[in-house]
Structure 1
Amino acid sequence: MRDNGYKNTAYAVAELIDNAIQAGARHVQLLAGEELELVQKRHVPRIKEVGVLDDGSGMDAETLRMALQFGNGTRLDDRSGIGRFGMGLPSASISQARRVEVWSWTDSPDRANYTFIDLDEIEKGSSSTVPLPVVDPVPQGWRDLAESVGSSGTLVVWSKLDRMQWRRASTIIDRSEDIIGRMYRRYLHEGEVTIRLAEFDIGDRSQATKARPARVNDPLYLMAPSSTPAPYDNDPMFEPDGDEETWEIERKIEGPDGGMHTVTTRFTVAKSGARRPNNAGALPYGKHAGRNVGVSLMRAGRELDLDQSLVIGYDPRERWWGVEVDFPPALDEVFGVTNNKQSARYFSEVTASIDSIIKDDSRSTADIKGEMEENGDPAADLVEVAQDIQRRLSTIRKALKIQTQGQKSQERRYGVASPEAEATEITKKFQAEGRKGQSDKEESMPESERVNALAQVFEGDGLTQAQARNKSLDVVQEGMKYVFSQGTLDGGAFFNVRPVAGEIVIKINVDHPAYEGLVEVLENQISDGDSRDELAERLRRANRGLKLLLMAWARYEDEEALPARREALQDIRTDWGRVASRFLRG
């Protein structure tokens, strides 16, 4: 019974905060107490007690006793708020502690109702049920630690802490702030509730040793102020992906009650300024975003889970998008919400397998959904939601990839040792030998016209207006003949070649497997944190990509049935090889 699926202590504490908010609390306090303990001949601080105090409506004796009984809470199957399952208080408590004590009062902390669960007593046989509550004032030590004690409220105290993941009060507070700030971000942002986080010394309960309010932690990075490090602590780091009509998608889903309920999915993307600095992901705000990667599932205004099913774990750019799925408790069965409100099982299953579910392009989403319903698949209603997220993330990822490469190309510029500079010098020799290309005739265009023409191309490929303008200026003013661009191409080509304003623009298809397997793996900057093994793996992937490209061309020639065309392909390969030899020799 103690192994009931809580991810860590912070999630167990959240059950008590749920109860407080459901009871109308405006102020909740998490109090963590520690004392020195002898460990290997050293006295080290260890967590001994955890208290959660609120100023909600409180409970009378009968309600309090019911609240400590498993599956017998007062809001059993109440879908009007964040509670419902009747398991929170006892299951969360014994998942962390062997003893839980509760004081609850409706008119004065001096006349609180008190009862407890003690697993040691239960195991000894001296107790088998929750004791009848007695009137007992809230202990003065807890009152002294509190910022305030309401005329009504509840205090839950855990002791005999044998299953806590963290051993220091400071660790519990620090780790809980990120999670609690994210779970209850709407309540905190809208001022509906404050959550105080405090540490204290068991030997001196006169005051907290450290205390601070929990700050908003918004994985969409639209709320401010927040716990995001500067310069985005008071300014949103992300922006909606799209305009007012497209940044969120609403779908109606039928619930078990027969009613149609709204599921809203929202999408955000990091502002270009946040991604612009070199190694932005290693900056404090970038690391903060790295801890909030995933699809945030919001149930009744409280985050249920930060789902990882659609996250590409190895890609550091994943931190720069945000997705939130907002649904009401009436759809708990549809989403597969677990009793401890730790996850939405059916949502995770359908998003993790969405590619295989919709792999048949000849069938519509409606057909797939209908077949799943016929087979009794509970996730059928979520296929469209999952597909909405998959499609939008695909678009966002492509834009991030293109803009990131555009930023890197600006940072690199064009030195004399750059491939573009070397190829430009060799092309000048070709021109001196009388060899002319289609692009050469526009080299005499005015500089401003060349810059504008190139900027239009780069912006169309996905760069921001500023990135496109700066890149065009660099190319023209540095006298480069060749410039690379990244974007998407129809028809499956790896790259195309296009003369623009005297330049040869080589556009690489970011959707082609060769981009990830050869181009991107070599263009990613090397950081001090890269290990020898990581660098070796990048070279191995690049070697693999190059060999597969050559073998793909070999197969292309081999499959050509017409002798004349096969001979033409061989001639093209030979001629290209001669030009490549000149370029590579310099």
Structure 2
Amino acid sequence: MADRIPVILTGQALRSLRDSGYSLAGAIGEVVDNALEAKANTIQVRLDEGQNRRGRRHIHRIAIADDGIGMDLDILHHYPQVGYSTRYMSTTTIGKYGVGAKLAALNFSERLDVWSRTATEAPWMHVYFDLQEAEKMAADGKSADIEAPAERPVPDELHDLLPAGTGTLVVWSKVDRLEEGRYAEDANKLRVDIEKELSRMFRHFLHGGIVISVNNTKLLPHDPLFLMDGTWADQVLSKHYRRKDVDPSFDSKPHYESKIFADEVFVFAGSKVRLRVSVYPPEVVRRRGMGGDQLADQLRVPDNLGSLSFVRLDREINYTTVPKILPGGVEDPDRFIGIEVSFNPELDEYMGVRNVKRGVEPHGDLRALIRGHLAKWIPQAREEIQTLWGEASRKTKERAGEHSEILDAVRKADRTLPKSKAAGPGPDKEKEVLDQLAKDTGREKPDDKEEYLEKIEDLPFVVETVDFPGASFIDIQHLSRQIIVRLNLRHPFYQELWQPIRVIAEAPPGSVSGDEATRTARRTMEALTLLIIAYAKAESMDTDPTRFLDLRDDWGKFLRSLMGKIKNIL
């Protein structure tokens, strides 16, 4: 038995390192990081598409070029070496472990070539690593060494990527993991996904003037907080609102800015953490139920549902949901809330930063601290979204006439019901109540208001779904000849019960799946039971609940009478 054996079996270890869990955008991002550290102003990414032996199209080569300061011979020699870094364990640079760019290359390809030069007049020096060659050497009992840099021409088809002066060209070839259907349906969708991810990861650099392009398309920053100007979202929104079929009265503008709710800096473990929370612009929030339509998809709004952006030295290293960090869990309006947590490398341990920039999220006391700050700001942001939705609902008369068919039937049934004993608040107050109702339903113009008030004049009950703040589900006002009932569009009872049932009721026969109908029916049973329990609980808050006995009897009596007279109206 040999006295000593190698700590690493080179061939098997390198093959294992291919499964580092990188997305393609994340892998390319590692090379972009190096370019930025090398003071590059322009970074070009090119994906070369081909066809494999089975006839399936795939990306067969990826090239990333930059115009940075380049690498001297010693650094270039060590570039393919796993674990080597000129910034090893640094707390002032983007990279620190010396494995990112190497593992990124191995994750998708079997060969890495690098050309670099540090002077405009100098030749391009080359170094490479080939996984198949290394495995063969290991199998023959030889050390898998990296040859010293040598002058070698850049292939003609890559010449157009080279900067005029100093810089670096990184090429991944023998790409064997990007065939059609593995990471995307086709190469075009894969490219779009890379553009989308890189434009968000490096948004602060793009906004600052650094140029990053993918297949000659210059990336615009994508800011999930919608605070930056000149972004991808600004371009999409301007194009959308220039369409006269969208809103003929709307003038597009160069920038659509969020409302900032929090921009605070706090100290943890001696290092600063910056938390920013924003609510998306009204042009993005729009109306309820539009968070997943075509425009929302273009703006990448669905991706943002509950997501936090973690930014380290101006580079986003994770964009993800964090379990139980938002108050009350993730809610539907949260897709319109931007959250960014910025920190310095001193907090890497508390943020769970690993050698591959994935899975980063705070833990321990830092997590609790961030959660505490979010508990203050997220409810305010959610309330702002509800306010925006309410304003949009009033402008578009979104729920106008929702209950009209039933109210007309109730008007006929009311002839045989006991009449209200309420005296009413007086003519002036009643006019004020009705004027406010017209405003709440979006009839603010004099002609619209007059037409609406004439329409409801003879109705003993007026029920409108409107938007108002607070925890109440219904607001009831007793006038001399009418009872005005407002249902709160914001209330969970309306959102989770009333609205889904209405959608099913209005759907064409056969268009609703059995699963959808069953889920809605079950939620209806829950909500109706909770409605009764909540009423009983409300009674219990009075010192003498027995004084509601007559109210309960009347409620049950009128409900029975109305249900007997009104059926199949909708």
Q: Is the 8 A contact 2:22 2:104 kept in 1?
A: no
Report the equivalent of 1:356.
none
Q: Distance in 2 between the 1:548 and 1:114 partners?
A: 71
**Counterpart selection for 1:269 from 280, 304, 317:** 280
Matched, 1:224 2:236: no
Q: Distance in 2 between the 1:213 and 1:564 partners?
A: 72
Q: Is the 8 A contact 2:113 2:170 kept in 1?
A: yes
Which residues in structure 2 correspond to 1:367-406 (within 5 Å)?
379-401=364-386, 403-404=388-389
Q: Distance in 2 between the 1:563 and 1:9 partners?
A: 65
Report the equivalent of 1:361.
none
Q: Is the 8 A contact 2:393 2:442 kept in 1?
A: no
**SS of the counterpart of 1:21?**
helix
**Residue 391 and residue 521 in structure 1: after superposition, are their counterparts in 2 closer, same or farther (change >3 A)?**
farther
Which residues in structure 2 correspond to 1:59-70 (within 5 Å)?
59-70=71-82
Q: Is the 8 A contact 1:264 1:327 kept in 2?
A: no
**Counterpart selection for 2:174 from 160, 164, 167:** 160
Identity %: 23
| Gap runs ≥5 in structure 1 | 199-210, 351-378, 459-465
Report the equivalent of 2:28.
13
Give the drift of 1:268: 2.6
The number of aligned residues is 514
Q: Is the 8 A contact 1:426 1:582 kept in 2?
A: no
Which residues in structure 2 correspond to 1:538-549 (within 5 Å)?
538-549=520-531
Report the equivalent of 1:300.
313
Which residues in structure 2 correspond to 1:517-556 (within 5 Å)?
517-522=496-501, 531-550=513-532
Report the equivalent of 1:322.
338
Give the drift of 1:445: 4.6
TM-score (norm 2): 0.77
Give the drift of 1:154: 1.0
Matched, 1:104 2:116: yes
Q: Is the 8 A contact 1:560 1:566 kept in 2?
A: no
Give the drift of 1:251: 1.4
Report the equivalent of 1:506.
486
Q: Is the 8 A contact 1:488 1:509 kept in 2?
A: no
Q: Is the 8 A contact 2:120 2:165 kept in 1?
A: yes
**Counterpart selection for 1:190 from 208, 212, 221:** 208
Q: Distance in 2 between the 1:485 and 1:120 partners?
A: 68
Cα deviations across residues 300-329 of structure 1 (Å, max 9, x unaligned)? 111111121258999654332211112222
Q: Distance in 2 between the 1:524 and 1:313 partners?
A: 26
**Counterpart selection for 2:155 from 139, 145, 148:** 139
Give the drift of 1:520: 4.5
Q: Is the 8 A contact 2:20 2:103 kept in 1?
A: no
**SS of the counterpart of 1:111?**
coil
Q: Is the 8 A contact 1:239 1:270 kept in 2?
A: yes
Q: Is the 8 A contact 2:489 2:495 kept in 1?
A: no
**Counterpart selection for 1:337 from 350, 353, 373:** 353
TM-score (norm 1): 0.75
Report the equivalent of 2:268.
253
CA RMSD in angstroms comes to: 4.0
Q: Is the 8 A contact 2:22 2:107 kept in 1?
A: no
Q: Distance in 2 between the 1:150 and 1:531 partners?
A: 61
Q: Distance in 1 between the 2:465 and 2:563 partners?
A: 20
Give the drift of 1:581: 3.8
Give the drift of 1:185: 1.0
Q: Is the 8 A contact 1:108 1:151 kept in 2?
A: yes
Report the equivalent of 1:178.
196
Q: Is the 8 A contact 1:122 1:128 kept in 2?
A: yes
Report the equivalent of 1:290.
302
Q: Is the 8 A contact 2:476 2:483 kept in 1?
A: no
Report the equivalent of 1:205.
none
Report the equivalent of 1:123.
135
Q: Distance in 2 between the 1:61 and 1:110 partners?
A: 12
**Counterpart selection for 1:24 from 26, 39, 62:** 39
Q: Distance in 2 between the 1:430 and 1:249 partners?
A: 62
**Counterpart selection for 1:483 from 436, 450, 464:** 464
Give the drift of 1:15: 0.3
Report the equivalent of 1:57.
69
Cα deviations across residues 466-488 of structure 1 (Å, max 9, x unaligned)? 96958994864642733344555
Q: Distance in 1 between the 2:95 and 2:409 partners?
A: 67
Instruction: Name which of structure 1's ranges 174-183 and 305-314 shifts more when overlaid on structure 2.
Output: 305-314
Q: Is the 8 A contact 2:399 2:466 kept in 1?
A: no
Q: Distance in 2 between the 1:402 and 1:335 partners?
A: 35
Q: Is the 8 A contact 1:222 1:236 kept in 2?
A: no
**Residue 53 and residue 542 in structure 1: after superposition, are their counterparts in 2 closer, same or farther (change >3 A)?**
same
| Gap runs ≥5 in structure 2 | 1-15, 240-252
